[in-house]
Amino acid sequence: MAVSGGFVFCFDEVDAQLLDYSLKTHPSDLPFSGKYFLDVHSPAEHSVDALARHSSAVHLIAADSIEFSESAIAGHYGPKSILLFQDESIDEDSLLLLGRLNDLHRARSDALLIVSHNEQASRQLYLKLLKRGYEPEIANTCVRWTCAKHYVDDRRYVRMLFKLHCVKKEQGPTRMQALAWSRIGLFESPQTILADGMAAIPEDDLMESIKKNIESYQRKPSTFSRLDLNSNSSEKRTFLRSFLRRQGFPYQSIERFLETLVEKEHKND
């Protein structure tokens, strides 16, 4: 299609690789007429901040008028700019290709800004990109890239939620897992991710969470008598075992915690 109006495309070699495009620097291999061709340049930096700033990205500018000089364009967009004038043309398929590359580059930039503020899970980030107007395929490709770069890690996210909800907020793993279920698992089973994430939680954190959950329960008004953790009552240990299982704590961690109670009982005796 003929170029009319102005178009700005911004992308780099990573975007081309993610979409399985092979972009050459030789004019004969590219869909553009005339002497201008695309030069895909690999970013010299690979940090989150550098990518978020579109570091070393290529800009392709289509302009109506020859009044836009190459030097002016390069001064605004950088030395890797390509200028197409009104009498040059680009076919529709090529324009769509460039649009996809541009969309993916913007999605990657948005994703990096999102994860720089808060830890994200894969499906959570995917849905946020959809809300920003990106097509499902672009959002999916973008999130897959963030996972490959470990900017997003569902198992890390599960461990973060455990510390937040089970240790700091004194809630059980069941509550945490319910929150995580809809946010994780874009590329894997959420059940597998939760199992792996829980298995990687340090035992000391589990013990601390169990203790805080029991203390939180003791502070709540109840028709039952308040639990005395120093009491050598087997009934109370049975109650605790049932209570902690309902909260979603692993069986082995519960048993280990109850063993510490038994040891305290023996010391008191």
The phi and psi torsions of 90 (rounded to 5 degrees) equal -140, 135
Task: Using a pLDDT cut of 90, give the percent of the chain over it.
Answer: 29
Q: Could you give the CA distance from residue 80 to residue 12 in angstroms, rounded to a whole number?
A: 11
Q: Could you give the CA distance from residue 259 to residue 253 in angstroms, rounded to a whole number?
A: 10
> How much is the pLDDT for 168?
81
DSSP 84: E
Write out the two tokens for 169: 């907020």
Average pLDDT over residues 132-160: 96
- Give tens-digit pLDDT for 37-49: 344 433 344 444 4
Q: Count of alpha carbons within 13 Å of 196, Cβ hemisphere only?
A: 13
Least confident of 58-72, 118-132, 146-160: 58-72
Residue 73 clears pLDDT 70, i.e. is over it = no
- Give tens-digit pLDDT for 166-197: 878 778 888 889 999 999 999 999 999 999 99
DSSP 167: I
- Residue 237: other Cβ atoms inside 10 A: 18
Q: How would residue 103 be classed by pLDDT, with cut points 50, 70 and 90?
A: very high
- Give tens-digit pLDDT for 76-94: 544 444 444 444 556 677 7
Specify which residues 81 forms β-bridges with: 59
Residue 109 clears pLDDT 70, i.e. is over it = yes
Q: Could you give the CA distance from residue 167 to residue 210 in angstroms, rounded to a whole number?
A: 8
> How much is the pLDDT for 55?
41
Do residues 181 and 190 lie in contact, with contact meaning Cβ atoms separated by under 8 Å? Answer: yes
Q: Could you give the CA distance from residue 250 to residue 260 in angstroms, rounded to a whole number?
A: 16
Residue 123 clears pLDDT 60, i.e. is over it = yes
Task: Using a pLDDT cut of 70, give the percent of the chain over it.
Answer: 63
> How much is the pLDDT for 222?
59
Report the range out of 89-98, 192-201, 221-230 with the highest average pLDDT: 192-201
Distance of CA 124 to the CA centre of its chain: 7
Report the Cα–Cα distance between both ends of the chain, in Å, rounded.
90
Residue 207 clears pLDDT 70, i.e. is over it = yes
pTM over 0.85: no
